[in-house]
Amino acid sequence: MPIGPAIVRRNAKIILVILVLLILTIRVAPIPGRSQGSIFYDRNGRILTVTTSAGKIPVPIGQMSKYLPEAVVAIEDQRFYVHFGIDPVGLVRALVTNIRAGRIVEGGSTITQQLAKNMFLTPERSIDRKLKEAMLAVYLEMKFGKRAILEKYLNTVYFGHGAYGVEMASRVYFGKGAKDLTLAESAMLAGLIRGPYYYSPYRNIKAAMARRAMVLNRMVAMGYISPIEAAEAAREPIRLAGLEGREYRQAPYFVDYVMQQLADRYLNDGDLLYNGGLQIHTTLDVNIQVAAEEAFHEIIGELAKVSPAKQGSAQGGTLITQPQGALVAIEPQTGEVRALIGGTSFRMTPFNRAINAKRQPGSAFKPFVYAAALDHGFTAASSIACEPIYLPTAQGVYSPRDFGKESYHWRVLSLREALVVSCNVIAVKLNYALGPELGASYARNMGITSVLRPNLSLVLGTSEVSPLEMAVAYCPLANGGYAVKPKFMNSILSSTGGVIRTFATRKWKVLDPRTSYILTDMLKGVLKRGGTAPDVSRIFSHPAAGKTGSSQNFTDAWFVGYTPDLVAAVYIGHDDPATPVARPGGATAALIWARFMQRVYGNASPRDFTEPSGLVRREVCGTSGMSPTPFCPWTRQEVFKAETAPDTPCTWHSPGAVMKGMNKAR
C-alpha cells in the first residue's frame, strides 16, 4: 500500500517530537538544591536579615491528608488527570479570565509545568524558558505517572514563610503534620500556592479566608466534597501555630513589607526570596530605626501601664498588647524610608499599622487646607473670629466647636495663631470659604492616596488615612514644595551581583516654595509654649515643625513633624476603635517624635529650613494683621509672599475707630 504525503508528514512530526525529547532526556538534570538565602542590607551596607528556608520534609502522598491533593488539583490544575503536561484548554480559560478581570488572576501553567520549573529551570523570565518548561512537562508526563508527579509537586512547591512542601507548610501554619490536616486547613494551604505572601493568614486573614472559600467551592464543583462538607469547613476557625519569631531580626515590619513588594510586584515568585541568593539594598538606616524603636516602646510602654485591665484584646486566640501604634520616618528630599514601625511586636501582631491601618488623623490634616488658603488670598496674618457659626450642608446645618473646656475662643485669631492652638472653628471656616474639594485636592497632590470625603469636617481629619501617607504628604512642607514617592529599596542584585532592578527617586513640584516655608514657619509654633505640643521643644531643640492630631473623643493620637532632613509620622491607637487612647496627640505621639528626633540628631549642629526668594517680613497689628498705626495696642513681625504683604493701615485701630470705641464706652 502506497504511503500518502499526509502520513509522511504526521510521522515526521512524531519523529521530531521524539528526537527533541531524547535530546532533553540526555541534557536534563535536576538543578542542585538551591538553599542560598537572600540578604537584605540597610542604606549603609549593614545586613538587616538573611532569609532562611524552613527546610523540606518529603512525605509520600499516602501520608498526606486525603483532602490536600484534591484541594491542590481543584485550585491549581482542574484538568491535571486528563492533559499531557500542557493544557491548551486551561491556557485559553486563564487568558479569558485575565482579560475579563483586567489583570492576572489565574495562571495557565499546569502542575506538571510548575514541577518542571522547580526541578530543572532557573528563575529567569523569557519565552525560551517557557518553551523549555513546556517540553520538560511533556518529558515528565512520559517518564512518571500522575500520582508520582503530584507527589513530587506537593513536596517541592513553595507555601510562603520559607516553607517548601506540604509537610513543612503544615507545621509552619498549623503546627501539625500533613496527614493530620482538616479539610479547611488543606483548602487554605492549597490556596496559598498562587500567592503565598498575599494569601498568608499571618498577613491577611480576610484574603486567606476568601481564598479558602474559593478552593472549597472548586472542590465541590469537581465532586471531591459535598456542599455540606464545604459549608462546615468554611465555618471552621483558623488556628495558627505562630511564626515563633524566627523570621527577621531587625526592622521586621519594614523587611516584611519589602519582601511583600518583591514577591508581588518585581519578582512574582516568593521562592526567589529564600533560594535565589538575592542582594536587596534597602533605604532603611539601622541607626535611625533603632532610635525609632527605643522612643516608640518607651512611650507605648508607659501608656500600657495606665490601664492594665485594657492592655490586650483577643484576636485569633492571641492576646495583643494595647494600645498599638506606628511610626514612619522619611527623608523628604528623596522619599527614602529611613525607619518604619508597624506595631509593638511583629511576632505578636504582624499587621503593619504604618501602611495598612487607616484611621482619622484629626487636626494633623489641617496643614493641607492651610496650604490651600495661603495660595488663595489668605496670609498667616489674616484674622478670623472664633465664635459660633452655622453652615448649611447637604446633611443639614453644621456648627463646629473646639475641644477643651471652652467650645470657642470668643475672639479674633490670626491664621498663625489658629493653627498653633489648633482652632477647629477657624479651620472649618477656611474650608467653607475655599470649598472642601480644594483642600482635598491639595492633600491628594501632596501625597494622600486614600479616599477623601470632601465635606466641611474633612479639615478636622475625618477621612481615614495611613501613617505612611501622612509622612509622605508632609514632605513638600520640608523640602520646598516637592511631592515624593515613598521609596523602600535602592536596588535588587542577583546572587552574582548583576543588577536586576534599580529604583530612582521620584519627585515633582506641588507647592509654591514660599507656601511651604510660611506654613512651616507657622507650624514651628506648635512645638513651643502656647502650641499643642509644647513639650517637644523641651526635648528636641533643633529647628522643627509639626502638627498634632486627635480624632473625636481622643480615639487616636497623632503627631507629624519634620526637620529639613527627616519627616516622621507617629500614630497611637487601640485596634478596637471603640476604645480611646484618652490622651491628645501632643501628650503621647508628639513625645515619641521628640525622643526619636533627639536620638537621631544627638549633638549634631542645628540646620534651619532654607528661606526661598520672594518673601518679605512686615510689622503688623497683632490683632487685625494689617499695617500698624500708632493706635494699635500691640504689633508683631509676620512673613508674607511679597505680593500679599499688607499696605493698608489698620482700620480696627484708626483714630476714628478709637474715638468710636471711647464714645461707646461712655
Strand pairing class (39-41; 279-282) = parallel
Contacts of 75 (CB under 8 A, 6+ apart): 190, 191, 193, 194, 214, 215, 218
636 bridge partner residues: 620
Handedness of CA 576, 580, 583, 584 (dihedral sign): positive
Handedness of CA 439, 441, 444, 447 (dihedral sign): negative
Q: How far apart are CA 47 and CA 52, in angstroms?
A: 14
Query: Which one of the listed residues 170, 200, 363, 466 is annotated catalytic?
Result: 363
Place of cell 520616618: 329
- Which residue, among 531, 520, 526, 535, has the nearest Cα to 588 in the 3D structure? 535
Whether 70 and 77 have beta carbons less than 8 Å apart is answered as: no
C-beta neighbour count of 657 within 10 angstroms:
14
323 preceded by a cis bond (ω within 30 of 0): yes
Contacts of 148 (CB under 8 A, 6+ apart): none
Q: Catalytic residue at 363?
A: yes
Q: How far lies 573's CA from each of 129, 536, 547, 585, in Å?
A: 50, 20, 17, 10
* Identity of the amino acid at 340: L
Contacts of 277 (CB under 8 A, 6+ apart): 34, 36, 37, 38, 494, 495
Q: How far apart are CA 273 and CA 263, in angstroms?
A: 8
Handedness of CA 255, 260, 262, 266 (dihedral sign): negative
Task: Give the containing element (helix H, strand E) for 427.
Answer: helix 424-434
Q: How far apart are CA 200 and CA 529, in angstroms?
A: 48
Query: Which one of the listed residues 76, 133, 167, 469 is annotated catalytic?
Result: 76
C-alpha cell of residue 656: 476714628
Q: How far apart are CA 379 and CA 401, in angstroms?
A: 23
To 5 degrees, how large is the angle CA 176–CA 180–CA 185? 80
Give burial (CB, 10 Å; 0-12/13-18/19+) of 10.
exposed
Q: Catalytic residue at 76?
A: yes
Q: How far apart are CA 361 and CA 358, in angstroms?
A: 9
Among all residues, which ones are annotated catalytic?
76, 363
